[in-house]
Chains A and B, each alone.
Chain A
Amino acid sequence: MEQLKVEHKNRGDLGIIELIGDVTALAEESVMSASKNIDAAGARNVLLKFNKASYINSAGIAIIISLVSDARKKNQKVAVCGLSGHFKKVFDMIGLTDYLSIHDTEEAALEGFK
């Protein structure tokens, strides 16, 4: 399994969490830690950046739901970018698209938050 690397940064009031690799149960601690870090740096909204080659299993989807649920409690909006066509479809099937917006690129997501 490709080890997941999680990076984070803030662009203005947008916190960006980049997920490089497979998003599985092992991702939880890293993703939640990145979420805390972007909040501490003043994030008012969240962008999850994926890699088109990424594999996201049902445990990874559960982590994303947890992150979105936490963001909603803090009145943060969530967007994602970089998903493959397949996982865009999966997110829609699950109903995640009712809770976040999907964009092709980081720039398009930034535009969406304006």
Chain B
Amino acid sequence: MEGQLRMPDKEQEIEIHIPHRLGFEKVAMESAATVAAMMGFSSDRIEDLKTAVGEACINAIEHGGKGSPHERILVTLTSNESELRVDVENSGDAFPVEHGKPNIAEKMDGRSPTRGWGLFLIRSLVDKVEFRSHEGTNTTNMVICLDR
């Protein structure tokens, strides 16, 4: 597209460090959206990615950062010709990884808390996701693919 900045075809990596404070997930979301737009993802797919990245960062913010106040969450954006990978890494307690779709009927009836949608949204909005926890480091790895 003439005049539009595009990502080079070879793999590029961008790192962003955000503080453990709610609100700063938007920095990661907008950065991921910018890279996805440069790669040529549709606006629908970019919105999906933004929401997923936001939820992954919120998990990291809420469950980590219990150590030094200078700790940061590392968000790594890795692009290549076919996919964009977003890794969200933090140190701290592993957040509980629940499987399956939360039951909205139970939440409406007050039988379970109304929260708990983050992981479901991440799984539903990206093409691949992995949650890892190892020796005090937690990572959410998300991938969206250009051909889907």
Contacts and interface: CB of A to CB of B under 8 A. Distances in A.
Contacts of A65: 104, 107-108, 114
A62 B44 contact: no
Interface residues of B, number: 29
B48 interface: yes
Contacts of B102: 94
The dominant DSSP class at the A interface is helix
Interface string A20-57: 00001110000000000000000000000000000101
Contacts of A84: 47
Q: Nearest 8 A-B pairs (CB), nearest first?
A: A86-B47, A1-B23, A62-B114, A58-B117, A95-B104, A65-B114, A62-B115, A58-B118
Interface of B: 22-23, 25-26, 29, 44, 47-48, 50-51, 54-55, 58, 102, 104-105, 107-110, 113-118, 120-121, 124
